């Protein structure tokens, strides 16, 4: 399958990139590792007039610890680089663990952290060829007005299926966004909308440039658990990230986030409160598992049944907490 | 050590280097000057009548050379003579989403894609049938007018008195099993390149050459001739390297005919390569099968009766369907000694892509049911599962109750071997919680004794030519699709002739050059083409022997041909250079040691000159090189050629009942397997840790290949057991790509220990039988039985996805249910709506007929 | 769309190509350079048959724009054999049954070449994980592990350890 035709722009600096975005904002797509965008373009899900290939922008590469502040990660840093960063493994283990589960090794050589954050939401009725979608009558997210997943609804439920964002949410990550009017910083938590067909707060003329992890989140124990059918390649069908800070045997702080079961990666509300100040027992893990399962709203966007995926959120949450407790 | 110099030694495939360097050419790697790209327009409807097609807008697009539709090639065809129900492009109706409507030949892919958008088609939608049991109740709007109730074919076989035997049985087990639909997913998407030549005499388009990724060049040539209305002699089919078939290329696939029709109309070469989605639509995979099975046994575990009702969801056309439903019946009861069998098989048409032949054709799903049920009986009777299988063995030579002749039967040894290697006796029932062992057996044909096109022609013919250069050229119609048949042919020829493998060149699967072979399917090639090769080699060898005997002044019987030398029996037969094991590559190289070096290619040139004359003048000798023997033979006889062919013997062709033609084979392979699994009781995830697979292949001509085939079969069986499933929602295939179809990756693929068992079949070439399919069928029940051993749940529906396993575990513990699909038809429309996912909400979505199942009741809302 | 002139460095040679900006690297290799060793097995970037090395790192050529690779060194399966002979890994794949139909093999050659370049003596688990980007439908992967082991041994024999 060939790609739709477009013009290719290859800036060497953020400034140049933002300039292009300003000029062509109405019809442009950012291309980083391409592992999400290119397969989608083959399926004619995107047919932009311009493609902005940012891979040559050196300043967007790299992991830069900043003493007393935290760490800054350029959006073009590959998932492979994150997975193998000694610094991140030591201080932000939940992130390296999540990154290591993305797709397959070769895809992690290509895929970037920025692309993973911006990853398009997915749905079995959407990630299909043009011919296929035509045969099923299209859907709200693209070319249609019907949701096959929640018939009668007007909301798109396409599911956010990135692995690193739940880890990043647990770490209180912030992102930097550059636009013609300058750069702004936003907690990642505020980046997602929870609406499948308009899932991120990023204007067409904006570029994600950096990710920041605060030092206050460093050195939490962290675990990421992912439901997938195969041991490699597959997107998550449910994912749970947990970070916990302990002092004297109980939890002094904790956060829990889910992915692949809602249109956005979500921090589980109330999980911190439920865990803080307690010792991590089986009963507590069960309780938090139930809470997480209530937060998850899986639908038939993906393989396996929604009931099962929600159940796995419960099981994985419980297991993740116990794994931290026993470690 | 055996007495062979070539066979039985691990041998790299003769075309291995082309594969590892990228130099080898598959069909899509070929191009011709002026070649156009063909793209196919597929139906968006599962069942609809075509009212009108207007291609004029597409034809006017710049870069479009031709647009073809059904009426450009209206003759129907099909792989079976009884199933000529397909057209290159549909003429009246579309019968599944993805059916072939039109084809554009254009200068490039983008243009062709654009042109497809410009073809206007008007459809009248018809009610569609997605579930076979639903489809069988249809009263009108049949998928094919001549198939009432949408039943392609049903068979009802009774051998013995099943009812009586079941009534008298000490123990009876009964259950419904469902095996969901799987597909081949060969890594190479189908591709065909077709080109016409201008005839020198008529000045008009004449001969057609088609390069195609096919397992059956001869059938393709035959069907092309039928549809294009050209004499077969005017059509040449060439099979380049094929990137895997597994049955998916074992019949004529629409693109193969469409490319030729398009090339004719466009007056230019046309290449069509399927997208991966098109491969899924072309399909021909293993049908979803519903098996109602009842088995009885006496108190000692001897099976007394088997009764089965089997319904196969065949999709929109016949394909191999009639054969599949017959194989299921014929092989169901022929692995063991079973005195009473009743079989009711229904092949049903539905509005989905077409099912056909897939590795283990017809046997896999019924074997899953049977071997699972056999374990149930063993449990009830408190007999060890391995033991109950031993108690039901056939006693060959024999003929099974349904007329299958069995001569070699390595099953007992297979069972013993896997029991021993897996530590079955010591470990069964003693593994930690959640871990288990399961055993199962299977078998398969070594080619069908009756070909699908009824005739008395041999199933394989092979020619061998040996010339003064000392080179041996084997012309075989066998289609190497990655299983290594070219290598097998080379090995047999060189073994018989006593020459090195490097001397043998195999020219294969080119209908202009190679004699007829009916193709690579039903594991027939080693047995049949191997036998033909053996005979051809023996025939040409006679000429060599006669000449050498004369030269060496001895009796023909005294001669030994081995390692590129001809010697007398009492004289040492030369050192055996080809060391075994992976100390390769010796079997490939022309021997270079001592005396034999005279036969090297370079020396060969000299032989033709003075040296040859000199040798001629010498007196009788004790030994000569292979090349000298060749030269001598050519001097005596002129050209050296040999022909051999193979037709299965009359005794192997089966009984007389209706449908008796399918199932009989000259020889059967046997397999026994033990699988070790663990089950995560919270998630239902099954991990296969190891599979011990013993396979009776008669004789392993090339152990690396045999082991590779066993491992590959087991692995593919594991895919069907655990992850692979074509998921349908109202006729739409939800996972038409490798990402969502999920054939296993290396991470979760278990270790497979292949164990070769050699029963040396009396009719196989050097005793060889099938080794590429038979193992697959045992894997699924072995895993299922191991799951039972691990956690005590019996799974009746494959694949054993974590949710199905978890649902079964919960049901067993009477815990809170998660409402899943165990035992329920997952494609039944009511089920989709439980999870949302309806196409037809309040009249939105694509036009579908009001009588479609999914439209009959109002859909329920989603979760929110 | 108008074609643009790009320079592509493949297997140590520089080629000037006129291609559309939307052309995928895989198509440029196969169609414009006739380097048909790299295969297309899927359309959803999940099979690895098209894997090539870009500056020594395995990547999917079906998921990259040819024009994006300007200035980078691309190695395809055609660039694996050494001095006209099979590299150890190629030989071993043939001998040990690592390739059956061979369609996935070029992709595996690239991932294995990279694996052995960064980890001369991988554990079986490391091998499994490194191979997990590529799908094979014939072999069940087992014989590939044996082949890789054999190739490592052959390399060690060829270069006596110092
Ligand atoms: C077979 C397969 C399996 C996969 N499995 C997984 C998986 O298991 N888990 C997972 O998380 N992902 C998976 N992915 C998706 C993907 O590989 C990763 O999410 C990857 O991190 C995406 O990064 P990229 O750089 O390739 O994104 P791209 O494709 O380049 O971009 C993705 C999206 O983000 C936008 N974008 C990228 N960078 C920026 C930026 N700096 N500013 C603004 N917008 C930007 C793009 O316009 C595009 O819309 C899989 C992909 C494939 C093909
Ligand atoms: S062709 Fe399948 S990943 Fe590139
Ligand atoms: S060898 Fe056939 S796909 Fe790997």
CA–CA gap between residue C52 and residue C54 (Å, rounded): 6
- Give pLDDT tens digits for B657-713: 999 999 999 999 999 999 999 999 999 999 999 999 999 999 999 999 999 999 999
Q: Please list every residue in chain B whose beta carbon sits closer than 8 Å to the beta carbon of residue C129.
A: 746-747
Tell whether the model's pLDDT for residue B577 goes beyond 50.
no
* Residue C40 backbone class (left: φ over 0; alpha: ψ -120 to 50; beta: rest): beta
- Mean predicted confidence (pLDDT) in B610-624: 65
Q: Where in chain B is the domain with CATH 3.30.365.10?
A: 148-183+284-451+653-812, 460-646
- DSSP letters of A26-78? GGEEEESS-TTHHHHHHTTS---SEEEE-TT-GGG--EEEETTTEEEEETT-B
Cis upstream peptide for B799 (omega within 30°): yes
- List all chains that touch chain B, counting a touch as 3 or more CB pairs closer than 8 Å: A, C
- List all chains that touch chain C, counting a touch as 3 or more CB pairs closer than 8 Å: A, B
E strand map for B253-393: 270-273, 288-297, 303-313, 341-348
- pLDDT category at A174 given cuts 50, 70, 90 is very high
C60–A110 CB contact, under 8 Å = yes
Report the residue among C94, C98, C138 best suited for mutation to probe ligand 3: largest number of ligand atoms under 8 A from its CB. C138
Per CATH, the number for B148-183+284-451+653-812 is 3.30.365.10
- Give pLDDT tens digits for C8-57: 999 999 999 999 999 999 999 999 999 999 999 999 999 999 999 999 99
- Ligand at minimal distance from the CA of B481 is 3
Q: Is B276 on the interface with C (CB under 8 A)?
A: yes
Per-residue tokens: B853: 């199942």
pLDDT for the residue B833? 37
Chain A (196-235) residues lying within 8 Å, Cβ to Cβ, of chain C: 231-233
- Mean predicted confidence (pLDDT) in A301-308: 90
Measured CA distances, B589 to B309, B490, B583, B592, B854 (Å) = 55, 13, 13, 8, 64
Residue found by looking up tokens 């294969």 in the block: B508
Q: Please list every residue in chain B whose beta carbon sits closer than 8 Å to the beta carbon of residue A236.
A: none
- Give pLDDT tens digits for B489-542: 999 999 999 999 999 999 999 999 999 999 999 999 999 999 999 999 999 999
For C100, name the nearest residue in chain B, comparing CA atoms only.
B482
Instruction: Return the percentage of chain B with pLDDT > 90, whole number.
Output: 85
Q: Please list every residue in chain B whose beta carbon sits closer than 8 Å to the beta carbon of residue A296.
A: none
Segment (H or E) for A16 = helix A14-24
- The lowest-confidence range among A93-97, B124-128, B433-437, B854-858 is B854-858
Q: Please list every residue in chain B whose beta carbon sits closer than 8 Å to the beta carbon of residue C81.
A: 21
From C155's Cα to the closest Cα of chain A, the distance in A is: 24
- The lowest-confidence range among B20-24, B499-503, C138-142, C153-157 is C153-157
Nearest to C77 among B16, B21, B481 (CB): B21
Q: Is C96 on the interface with B (CB under 8 A)?
A: yes
- Mean predicted confidence (pLDDT) in B96-100: 97
Per-residue tokens: B576: 């055996």
From A54, B20, B418, select the one nearest C110 (Cα to Cα): B20
CA–CA gap between residue B707 and residue C139 (Å, rounded): 10
- Give pLDDT tens digits for A191-242: 999 999 999 999 999 999 999 999 999 999 999 999 999 999 999 999 999 9
pTM: 0.95
Nearest to C57 among A31, A35, A109 (CB): A109
B747–C132 CB contact, under 8 Å = yes
CA–CA gap between residue B261 and residue B22 (Å, rounded): 31
Q: How many alpha carbons fall within 13 Å on the CB side of residue C158? A: 9
Q: A144: helix, coil or strand? A: coil
- pLDDT category at B837 given cuts 50, 70, 90 is very low
**CATH top-level class of B31-126+188-243+249-282:** alpha beta
- Mean predicted confidence (pLDDT) in A40-68: 97
Average pLDDT, rounded, for chain A: 96
Phi, then psi, of B116 in degrees rounded to 5: -60, -35
Residue found by looking up tokens 């027992």 in the block: A281
Cis upstream peptide for B585 (omega within 30°): yes
A135–B846 CB contact, under 8 Å = yes
Segment (H or E) for A244 = strand A238-247
- Mean predicted confidence (pLDDT) in A176-194: 97
End-to-end CA distance of chain A: 48
Tell whether the model's pLDDT for residue B486 goes beyond 80.
yes
- pLDDT category at B731 given cuts 50, 70, 90 is confident
Tell whether the model's pLDDT for residue B224 goes beyond 70.
yes
Judge whether B556 and B544 are in contact, CB under 8 Å.
Answer: no
From B417, B438, B416, select the one nearest B427 (Cα to Cα): B438
End-to-end CA distance of chain B: 71
pLDDT for the residue B583? 43
Nearest to B742 among A153, A229, A319 (CB): A229
Phi, then psi, of C132 in degrees rounded to 5: -80, 5
CA–CA gap between residue C3 and residue A7 (Å, rounded): 10
Tell whether the model's pLDDT for residue B836 goes beyond 80.
no
Whole-number Å distance, alpha carbon A130 to ligand 1 midpoint, is 20
CA–CA gap between residue A269 and residue B678 (Å, rounded): 35
- Give pLDDT tens digits for B147-168: 999 999 999 999 999 999 999 9
Judge whether C137 and B187 are in contact, CB under 8 Å.
Answer: yes
Q: Which fold does the domain B460-646 belong to in CATH?
A: Aldehyde Oxidoreductase; domain 4 (3.30.365)
Per-residue tokens: C110: 């690239």
Q: Which residues, in sequence order, are CB contacts of A255 under 8 Å at separation 6+?
A: A169, A170, A172, A242, A243, A267, A271, A272
Per-residue tokens: B730: 């109202």
- Mean predicted confidence (pLDDT) in B379-398: 98
CA–CA gap between residue C142 and residue B688 (Å, rounded): 14
- List all chains that touch chain A, counting a touch as 3 or more CB pairs closer than 8 Å: B, C
Residue ranges and CATH numbers for the domains of chain C are 4-79 (3.10.20.30), 88-158 (1.10.150.120)
For B18, name the nearest residue in chain C, comparing CA atoms only.
C102
pLDDT for the residue B522? 95
Q: B756: helix, coil or strand? A: strand
Judge whether B267 and B205 are in contact, CB under 8 Å.
Answer: yes
Q: B178: helix, coil or strand? A: strand
Q: Name the DSSP letter for residue B860.
A: P
Q: Which residues, in sequence order, are CB contacts of B358 under 8 Å at separation 6+?
A: B182, B183, B184, B246, B247, B248, B284, B285, B286, B364
For C53, name the nearest residue in chain A, comparing CA atoms only.
A106
CA–CA gap between residue B811 and residue B819 (Å, rounded): 10
Per-residue tokens: A323: 């794994």
- pLDDT category at B584 given cuts 50, 70, 90 is very low
Q: B451: helix, coil or strand? A: coil
- Mean predicted confidence (pLDDT) in A10-15: 97
Tell whether the model's pLDDT for residue B822 goes beyond 50.
no
Nearest to C1 among A5, A42, A110 (CB): A5
Tell whether the model's pLDDT for residue B571 goes beyond 80.
no
Which of A6, A152, A154, A240 to probe by mutation at the B interface, max B CB count within 10 Å? A152
Q: Indicate whether this complex's ipTM tops 0.95.
A: yes
pLDDT for the residue B751? 96
Average pLDDT, rounded, for chain C: 96
Judge whether B303 and B390 are in contact, CB under 8 Å.
Answer: no
- Give pLDDT tens digits for B438-453: 999 999 999 999 988 7
């Amino acid at each position: 399958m060939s790609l739709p035709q477009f013009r290719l722009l290859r800036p060497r600096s953020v400034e140049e990139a933002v300039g292009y975005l300003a000029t062509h904002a109405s019809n442009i797509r950012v291309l980083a590792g391409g592992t999400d965008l290119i397969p989608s373009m083959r399926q004619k899900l995107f047919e932009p007039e311009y493609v902005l290939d940012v891979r040559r922008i050196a300043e967007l590469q790299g992991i830069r610890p900043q003493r007393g502040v935290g760490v800054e990660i350029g959006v073009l840093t590959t998932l492979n680089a994150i997975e193998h960063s000694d610094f991140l493994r030591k201080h932000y283990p939940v992130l390296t663990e999540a990154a290591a589960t993305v797709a397959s090794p070769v895809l992690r050589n290509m895929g970037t952290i920025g692309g993973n954050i911006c990853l398009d939401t997915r749905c079995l009725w959407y990630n299909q060829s043009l011919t296929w979608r035509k045969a099923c009558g299209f859907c709200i997210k693209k070319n249609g007005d019907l949701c096959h997943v929640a018939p009668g609804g007007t909301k798109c439920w396409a599911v956010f299926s990135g692995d690193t964002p739940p880890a990043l949410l647990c770490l209180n990550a912030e992102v930097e966004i550059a636009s013609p009017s300058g750069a702004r910083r936003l907690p990642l938590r505020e980046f997602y909308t929870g609406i499948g067909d308009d899932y991120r707060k990023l204007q067409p003329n904006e570029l994600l440039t950096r990710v920041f992890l605060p030092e206050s989140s460093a050195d939490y124990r962290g675990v990421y658990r992912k439901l997938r059918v195969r041991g490699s390649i597959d997107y998550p069908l449910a994912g749970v990230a947990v970070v916990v800070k302990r002092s004297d045997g109980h939890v002094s702080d904790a956060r829990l986030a889910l992915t692949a079961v809602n249109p956005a990666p979500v921090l589980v509300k109330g999980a911190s409160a439920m865990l803080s100040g307690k010792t991590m027992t089986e009963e507590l893990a069960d309780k938090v598992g139930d809470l997480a399962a209530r937060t998850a709203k899986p639908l038939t966007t993906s393989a396996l049944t929604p009931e099962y995926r929600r159940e796995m959120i419960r099981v994985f949450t419980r297991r993740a907490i116990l794994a931290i407790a026993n470690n | 050590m055996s007495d062979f110099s070539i066979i039985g030694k691990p041998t790299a495939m003769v075309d291995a280097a082309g594969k590892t360097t990228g130099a080898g050419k598959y069909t899509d790697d070929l191009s011709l000057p002026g070649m156009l790209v063909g793209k196919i327009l597929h139906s968006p409807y599962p069942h609809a009548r075509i009212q009108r097609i207007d291609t004029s807008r597409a034809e006017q697009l710049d870069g479009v050379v031709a647009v073809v539709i059904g009426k450009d090639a209206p003759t129907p065809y099909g792989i079976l003579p009884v199933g000529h129900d397909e057209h290159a492009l549909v003429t009246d109706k579309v019968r599944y989403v993805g059916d072939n409507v039109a084809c554009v030949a254009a200068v490039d892919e983008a243009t062709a894609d654009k042109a497809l958008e410009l073809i206007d088609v008007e459809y009248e939608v018809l009610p569609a049938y997605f579930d076979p049991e639903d489809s069988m109740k249809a009263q009108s709007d049949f998928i094919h007018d001549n198939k009432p109730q949408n039943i392609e074919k049903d068979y009802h076989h009774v051998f013995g008195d099943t009812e009586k035997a079941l009534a008298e049985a000490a123990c009876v087990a009964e259950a419904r099993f469902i095996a969901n639909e799987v597909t081949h997913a060969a890594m190479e998407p189908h591709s065909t390149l077709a080109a016409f030549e201008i005839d020198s005499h008529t000045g008009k388009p004449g001969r057609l050459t088609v390069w195609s990724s096919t397992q059956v060049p001869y059938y393709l040539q035959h069907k092309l001739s039928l549809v294009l209305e050209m004499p077969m002699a005017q059509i040449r089919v060439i099979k380049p390297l094929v990137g895997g078939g597994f049955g998916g290329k074992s019949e004529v696939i629409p693109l193969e005919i469409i490319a030729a029709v398009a090339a004719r109309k466009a007056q230019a070469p046309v290449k069509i390569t399927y997208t991966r989605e098109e491969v899924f639509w072309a399909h021909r995979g293993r049908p979803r099968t519903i098996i109602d099975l009842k088995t009885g046994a006496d108190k000692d575990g001897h099976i007394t009766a088997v009764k089965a009702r089997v319904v196969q969801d065949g999709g929109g056309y016949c394909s191999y369907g009639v054969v599949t439903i017959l194989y299921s019946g014929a092989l169901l009861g022929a692995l063991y000694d079973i005195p009473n069998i009743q079989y009711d098989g229904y092949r049903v048409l539905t509005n989905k892509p077409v099912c056909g032949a897939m590795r283990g054709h017809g046997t896999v799903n019924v074997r899953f049911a049977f071997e699972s049920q056999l374990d149930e009986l063993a449990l009830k009777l408190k007999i060890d599962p391995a033991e109950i299988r031993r108690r039901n063995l056939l006693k060959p030579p024999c003929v099974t109750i349904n007329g299958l002749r069995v001569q070699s039967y390595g099953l007992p040894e297979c069972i013993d071997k896997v029991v021993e290697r897996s530590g079955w006796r010591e470990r069964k029932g003693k593994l930690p919680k959640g871990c288990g062992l399961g055993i199962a057996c299977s078998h398969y044909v070594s080619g069908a004794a009756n070909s699908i096109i009824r005739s008395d022609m041999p199933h394989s013919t092979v020619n061998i030519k040996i010339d003064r250069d000392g080179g041996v050229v084997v012309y075989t119609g066998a289609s190497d699709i990655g299983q290594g048949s070219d290598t097998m042919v080379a090995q047999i020829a060189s073994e018989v002739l006593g020459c090195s493998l490097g001397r043998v060149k195999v020219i294969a699967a080119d209908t202009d050059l190679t004699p007829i072979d009916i193709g690579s399917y039903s594991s027939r090639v080693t047995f049949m083409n191997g036998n033909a090769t053996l005979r051809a080699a023996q025939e040409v060898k006679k000429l060599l022997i006669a000449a050498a005997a004369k030269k060496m002044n001895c009796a023909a019987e005294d001669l030994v041909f081995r390692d590129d030398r001809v010697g007398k029996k009492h004289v040492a037969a030369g050192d055996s250079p080809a060391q075994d094991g992976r100390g390769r590559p010796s079997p490939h190289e022309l021997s270079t040691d001592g005396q034999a070096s005279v036969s090297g290619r370079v020396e060969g040139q000299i032989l033709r000159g003075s040296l040859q004359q000199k040798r001629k003048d010498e007196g009788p000798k004790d030994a000569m090189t292979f090349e000298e023997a060749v030269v001598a033979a050519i001097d005596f006889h002129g050209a050296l050629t040999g022909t051999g062919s193979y037709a299965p013997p009359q005794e192997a062709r089966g009984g007389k009942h209706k449908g008796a033609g399918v199932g009989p084979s000259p020889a059967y392979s046997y397999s026994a397997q033990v699988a070790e699994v663990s089950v995560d009781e919270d998630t239902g995830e099954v991990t296969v840790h190891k599979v011990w697979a013993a396979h009776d292949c008669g004789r392993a001509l090339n152990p690396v290949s045999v082991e590779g085939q066993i491992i590959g079969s087991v692995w593919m069986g594991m895919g069907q057991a655990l992850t692979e499933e074509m998921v349908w929602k109202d006729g739409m295939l939800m996972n038409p790509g490798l990402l969502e179809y999920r054939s296993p990756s290396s991470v979760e693929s278990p270790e497979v220990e292949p164990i070769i068992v050699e029963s040396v079949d009396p009719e196989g070439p050097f005793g060889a039988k099938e080794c590429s399919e038979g193992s697959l069928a045992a894997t699924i029940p072995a895993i299922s039985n191991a799951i039972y051993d691990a956690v005590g749940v019996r799974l009746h529906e494959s694949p054993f996805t974590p949710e199905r396993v978890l649902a079964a575990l919960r049901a067993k513990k009477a815990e809170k249910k998660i409402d899943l699909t165990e035992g329920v038809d997952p494609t039944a429309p009511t089920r989709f709506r439980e999870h949302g996912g309806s196409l037809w909400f309040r009249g939105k979505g694509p036009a579908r007929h009001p009588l479609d199942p999914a439209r009959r009741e109002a859909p329920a809302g989603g979760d929110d | 769309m108008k074609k643009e002139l790009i320079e592509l460095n493949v297997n140590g040679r520089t080629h000037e190509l006129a291609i559309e900006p939307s052309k995928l690297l895989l198509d440029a290799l196969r169609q414009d350079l006739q380097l048909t060793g790299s295969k297309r097995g899927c359309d959803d970037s999940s099979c690895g048959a098209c894997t090539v090395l870009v500056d020594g790192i395995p990547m999917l050529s079906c998921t990259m724009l040819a024009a994006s690779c300007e200035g980078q060194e691309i190695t395809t399966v055609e660039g694996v054999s050494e001095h006209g002979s099979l590299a150890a890994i190629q030989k071993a794949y043939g001998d040990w049954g690592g390739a059956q139909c061979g369609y996935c093999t070029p992709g595996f050659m690239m991932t294995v070449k990279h694996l052995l370049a960064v980890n001369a003596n991988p554990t079986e688990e490391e091998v499994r994980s490194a191979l997990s980007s590529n799908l094979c439908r014939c072999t069940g992967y087992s014989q590939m592990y044996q082949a890789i082991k054999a190739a490592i041994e052959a390399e060690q024999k060829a270069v006596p350890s110092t």
